Structure 1
Amino acid sequence: MTRTSRSRVRPLPIVAHVLAVVAILPMLWVVVSALRPADDLFSTGLPTRWTLDNLRYVLTEVPVPRYLLNSAIVSVAVTVIALFTHSMAAYALARLRFPGRGLVFSLIISTLLVSLPVILVPLFLVVKQLGMLDSYAGLIVPAIFNAFGIFLLRQFYLTVPRELEEAAELDGCGYWKRYWHVILPMSRPALASLSVLFFLANWNAFLWPLTITRSPDLTVIQLGLSSLTGQYSSAYNYILAASVLAAIPTIVVFLAGQRRLVDAMKTSGLK
């Protein structure tokens, strides 16, 4: 092999493709098992016939649609409210001049060091005192605050030219109009990326919903899948079928916003 041909060999892309295949194979196995007939469940290789009976069963005999609806309500509500409040907080930290601004930002960032299990008990007591146990409010309100969202939007707003806001100020726009008509439309890429992260994080939430909900009508999809593992431990084709249904919204959201997500990650390190 010549030196030129050796330089053309790139081991890193080959390793990346191998890792991608290794990561995709379990997902393909889940989909194949969910579409496999019950009598062909433990056979090796690809099934000789396909069926939708497993999906039909979990949609009709198990309250999976209710689980999906609860997760959708919580995820969408948290995402919409968090994007609105986080964008205002980030704009204030990036543009407004007030005493202690750096300290406030440092305190917000320091919350990233605190995981949910550490504050689970005091957070539960606060939610209990507010009367939000076993309710949509208890699932939504504590999940709104996210320091990473404020950090990412603040970094994005620091890259926005001040001349745009100065021009709006000359037209008589105050802080609110500048935020609503200038900053918010320009922050659509960052907001789109954060919407993907917020939606996925709340769709996959397990510990907090398990802590504060008791009513079956408030069961989210991750708790529903956990209950299925005990109820249908010998028929894991139903569990895998429900898992496929639970993964579809996350895949759709990620594919729709993956480009915005990568762009925002690049932008967050500019300043």
Structure 2
Amino acid sequence: MNALPHTPAGETPIAVVTGASSGIGAATARQLAAAGYRVILTARRKDRIEALAAELTEAGHEAVPYALDVTDRAAVATFAASLDRCDVLVNNAGGALGTEPVSSADPADWRAMFEVNVIGVLHATQALLPALTASGDGTVVVLSSTAGLATYEGGGGYVAAKHGAHVIAETLRLELSGQPVRVIEIAPGMVKTAEFAVTRFRGDEEKAASVYAGVAEPLTADDVADTITWAITRPSHVNVDLLVVRPRAQASNYKVHRES
């Protein structure tokens, strides 16, 4: 791995990861810590991030837990004010609720998805952008989804939210042109984690498992974390605008090879 592009002489660069309590967020925190970052772990589940911080500290890394709900603007502002510096922001907090068609979907589910996947990204990015710019070499990562690039039946609310996240990244990159901040978007396809599909299907383990039925090797949280960490640790002049990562078995959102 190349030398960290964000390291001022004698200082450890700081990376903030939202939604770090499980899945891709936790995996990304582990990999960034191993890459030499002091990782600030944020999520609503305080016990989870405290356990992860203890794990990383025991392994000789620098990690600090901070309980945070990115949909709470005042809380995000307080969090941002508590940091001495910020070199990297990984906007990972997100999630899906339901698979109902547009005709019968619950607006409350759409609102909840929009709040975390779009407004949460906005809150964290706005609050930390001054520090990222002041670092002289900042990076904003938006973890979107292939759902933010193409739609599919039953995904209307989540697709709309991830399209919003995609547009934030695309627009922010234009607006920051000439500033010392990169904007990276990582759009994963089918990723099998312990919670994503279960949450989407409201706790129905059988339906959640059916998403991955017959797929030999869906992506793992570590696969996506590796991709995020690789993009962040490129030399400062290299900006990975948009990287789509899928398992080999998935050719598109609606074409997946399944073995019998």
- State if a TM-score over 0.5 links the two structures: no
Structure number with greater CO (CA < 8 Å, separation at least 6) is 1
TM interval, shorter chain, is under 0.3
Higher Cα Rg: structure 1 or 2? 1
User: What TM-score, normalized by structure 2, do the two folds share?
Assistant: 0.27
User: What TM-score, normalized by structure 1, do the two folds share?
Assistant: 0.26
Larger helix proportion, structure 1 or 2?
1
Larger strand proportion, structure 1 or 2?
2
